[in-house]
Structure 1
Amino acid sequence: MNFIQIDLCGARLHAHGSGALHWPDEGLLVVSDLHLGKSERIARRAGQMLPPYETRDTLARLEEDVAQLDPARVICLGDSLDDDAATAGLDASDRAAIARMQAGRDWTWIAGNHDPAPSDLGGTAAQMVQIGPLMFRHIATPARGEVTGHYHPKARLGLRGKAVSRPCFLVDRRHMILPAYGTFTGGLCWRTPHLRGLMGADARAVLTGPHPAQVPLPRMAA
């Protein structure tokens, strides 16, 4: 079993080791912060040439999740593109991969702070989506029942005498923050005051990877 089950506001969710969130009862797959085209954006804006493999790898991993879970609906929680010009940098194989995944299913691009939500990659664009007790948007607000992204949370801890850093889901009784799904993305440490301030006293993290694990968030210093 490569997921941890999370019960959020009455919804039974599966936090997968890949960083994808699955809601089996709704046939829904959710991913956040793909940041497709990041290397192209860096080359375009800064002139620094990086191998453009991150988009290919991100889409390949997403195709694997889609094939395995076969969702009826996919929601991308914003920052799917690294900026609003990155669509032009996607090559034919990238667009073909997206089209294959969209075939026969409902696909929604939520607007992020890096992108206004793609308008020419198929699917539909939205600011937010409500399904049952849950609201899907890019950046967290104080509302109950939110599933969001944006912060790229990462857990840093010691396991078996070694320092480990992993992208992670953050969850409490009110809401969940997803890890960045994109291959070439940084992360915000779970100990930062801002992230800890967003989460309740019952908050915990689900570490991604081949063997996802659930751990409590570190206590904030007094």
Structure 2
Amino acid sequence: MSPARPHDRQDAPAGFDVLFCGERLSLLGARALWWAAQSTLVVSDLHLGKSERVARCTGVSLPPYETRDTLDRLETLIAAQRPARIVCLGDSFDDDHAARNLPLSDLDRLRGMMVGRHWVWVEGNHDPSPPNLGGIALAEFALGPLTLRHIADPAATGEISGHYHPKASLRGQFRPAFLLDRTRLILPAFGTYTGGLRSTDKALTGLLQSDALAVLTGPRPLPCPMPR
């Protein structure tokens, strides 16, 4: 990991650029990763269909708008970045049943986003079965010098992962956050109905080196030393 710089073009969402394992990546305030050299947009933990799954499993009804909002934000990013490839980094659906039971209108929107793009579904712990939507489904995806998987492998280097929904605080304000050190990058959850695990949790402090960086998401990404 090398010194980073903010980028904020008028035609793209605000991002914070880092040199990670020799690749320049932009950590977008919109909770996604942009890899310009590969024309690749990476999002993690969409958890589409969460309100349906919660109602089905617990009987508790949540306002059923999270899938629409998540897809709205993803569509906006795709329009801004125009990626050739999109990687969904696992837990794209809240479970396999939710994936099979999304409303037809939401499925049509997803299929529309996929047209003309290389779409990769990385398998997550919530959605281990490949979705019947096209694209390719893989346990992990190697691209250039990096490996993209859902759950971090403690022995891995050059790794991009999700799963933990990390969040961090700056001046007492918690936000979803990217966490990274020289060899590992963990993405925040992109989905609307997703909680977060504080960066001070042992599951995260045990994965990242002592000089790790947190980049808080929002209208303008805010980098700071990873709170421990």
TM (normalized to structure 2)?
A: 0.92
- How far 1:119 sits from its partner (Å)? 2.6
Write the deviation string for residues 144-174 of structure 1: whole angstroms up to 9, x where unpaired.
100000000001232xxxx311000001000
Distance 1:119 1:218, change over 3 A: closer
Q: Distance in 2 between matches of 1:87 and 1:96?
A: 13
Q: Distance in 2 between matches of 1:50 and 1:192?
A: 27
Aligned to 1:63: 75
Q: Distance in 2 between matches of 1:20 and 1:194?
A: 22
Work out which of the residue numbers 170, 179, 196 in structure 2 matches 1:170. 179
Q: Distance in 1 between matches of 2:90 and 2:129?
A: 7
CA contact (8 A) 1:117 1:126 kept: no
SS of equivalent to 2:74:
helix
SS of equivalent to 2:223:
strand
Aligned to 1:79: 91
Q: Distance in 1 between matches of 2:78 and 2:128?
A: 24
Work out which of the residue numbers 171, 184, 209 in structure 2 matches 1:200. 209
SS of equivalent to 1:85:
helix
Aligned to 1:125: 137
- 86-95 vs 166-175, which moves further: 86-95
Aligned to 1:22: 34
Show structure 2 runs of 5+ residues with no match. 1-7, 9-13
- How far 1:123 sits from its partner (Å)? 1.1
Runs of 4+ residues deviating >4 angstroms: none
- How far 1:116 sits from its partner (Å)? 1.0
Letter in 1 for 2:133: L
- How far 1:121 sits from its partner (Å)? 1.7
Show structure 1 runs of 5+ residues with no match. none
CA contact (8 A) 2:140 2:149 kept: yes
Write the deviation string for residues 23-59 of structure 1: whole angstroms up to 9, x where unpaired.
0000000000000000000111111111210000001
Counting aligned pairs with the same residue, the percent is 54
Letter in 2 for 1:37: G
Letter in 2 for 1:148: S
- How far 1:66 sits from its partner (Å)? 0.6
CA RMSD of aligned residues (A): 1.0
1:179 aligns with 2:188: yes
CA contact (8 A) 2:99 2:131 kept: no
Q: Distance in 2 between matches of 1:203 and 1:50?
A: 36
SS of equivalent to 1:18:
coil
Distance 1:133 1:157, change over 3 A: same
Letter in 2 for 1:7: L
Work out which of the residue numbers 165, 168, 179 in structure 2 matches 1:155. 168
Q: Distance in 1 between matches of 2:226 and 2:100?
A: 40
TM (normalized to structure 1)?
A: 0.94
- How far 1:88 sits from its partner (Å)? 2.7
- How far 1:118 sits from its partner (Å)? 3.3
Write the deviation string for residues 164-209 of structure 1: whole angstroms up to 9, x where unpaired.
1100000100010000000000000011122111101220011100
Aligned length: 215
- How far 1:218 sits from its partner (Å)? 2.6
CA contact (8 A) 1:78 1:117 kept: no
1:47 aligns with 2:59: yes
Letter in 2 for 1:149: G
